[in-house]
Structure 1
Amino acid sequence: MNNLTANYERILEILRKISSETLLSYQRRAPKLSDLQLISLSLTAEYMGIDSQNHLFRNIPSSLKSKIERSVYNRRKHRLSGKTNNLRLQLVRVFNEFETYFIIDSMPLKVCKLSRSNSSKICKESEYCYPNRGFCASQQMTFYGYKLHAVCSIVGVFRSIDISLSSVHDIHYLKDIKDQLSDCTLLGDKGYLSSNIQINLFNYANIKLETPKRINQNDYQPQFYLFKKQRKRIETLFSQLCDQFM
């Protein structure tokens, strides 16, 4: 509980530097727990890997528990989801303000095993977002589900995250990246190898795409060893996400 309280107070201190206490307008009386305090509590739970609200409310300090009930916390958390994402983006801009090198990669999000894909009803509420089959070259496996695309800085702060169908090639995510980044170097693996895309990114947003060459290419040269080493940072972040969110 001491760790939870300390993390909560530290996160709240940081958020107060970039935002006000009240983020939504209320018609009734002002709540005892401010919007920013509620978001700080939610981010603290995510940071500590607490995925159960019952477990969270069993461990939060009595000073916070007396200000809000669990059901009210759940409703307000959903209402503040958009504001929470805006605060995350503001924090990302602060942390990555002076970064000029970023790493791009993707990872598979398996919905279920291939043998159950035909009978599975998971994520099939709307036809446009049905999961499908895809291939992960790094793990040499075929899977059923989605792909998580991400861009992070060298120090390990996510700059952009998106989800696509598993059959979508990694290189198509670069079409969105050129509107989010500029004047930087982007490190990717062989899945992002394309001379046309490299030229387009450089002309559109001054983004220099660095990818390793294939051995059978005429102009093959080994990638700079430091770039190859730094690309492992995003693989570490993916592993941490898998452990934290199970």
Structure 2
Amino acid sequence: MSQPSQQDKVTAELRRAIVAGEFARGSFLPSSRELAPRFGVVRNTVMAGLGPLVEEGLVESLPKRGYRVIGAPSAFEVVWTQGGQLLPAGEEELGHGGELRAEIRQAPGPVARLLQGPDGMTVAVRSTVHRYAGAPWALREFCTPRSVADVARRLLEPEGVDEERLLAEHGLGQDGIRSCWSTRAATADEARVLKSGSAPVHFIQRTGFHQGQPVFCELTAIRADRVHLSRSAGNPPEMPET
């Protein structure tokens, strides 16, 4: 196993210090000139070590001012409903999220298999980023076969819609759901969008069926260090906040 580089050590130590509260939220980190002797490295190594912390959302770079501590975003509870949907605890709907994109592309193998189509089949993909307290916690992709999107054409537009309700309005309402939950390492794109660094993600696959045929699959990557996933049944009492 390869040893961590000097840059990685700088990143890890500063991450630990920020999470531990050694640098207060809103304060500026010492300059690279001041930090270099602390780690026994040159200033360029310090600057390189700060890059991942910016990507993770722990600090922000302010030109001519330095690096200001944002701090680790707090964790919160997300309910995984019986229908396989995700809802921040206490909220009635997930919302449309931000940075919405809608595009037509070829489906990768896992998506094609969920939709029971051939590899490389054409799908409509709607992707959104969900935030809590200003920080990203989930990246969601809602995929439908192109033939389905051609019927429910608003799926092709980058606008906030309830996709499942829209499908129902076009006679393609779901009559069956299959969900699968796993935990894995984040892909490079997921880590970049979620600013999660090396943290793993929960990954939920959810497929909706109409008359035995899949009409959509929903793929959601969730920052495992920000979210406590919970699931209940029946009428459980309200739990006090901890």
TM-score, normalised via structure 2 length? 0.26
Q: If each structure's strand is expressed as a fraction of its own residues, which one has the higher value?
A: 2
TM-score, normalised via structure 1 length? 0.26
Q: If each structure's helix is expressed as a fraction of its own residues, which one has the higher value?
A: 1
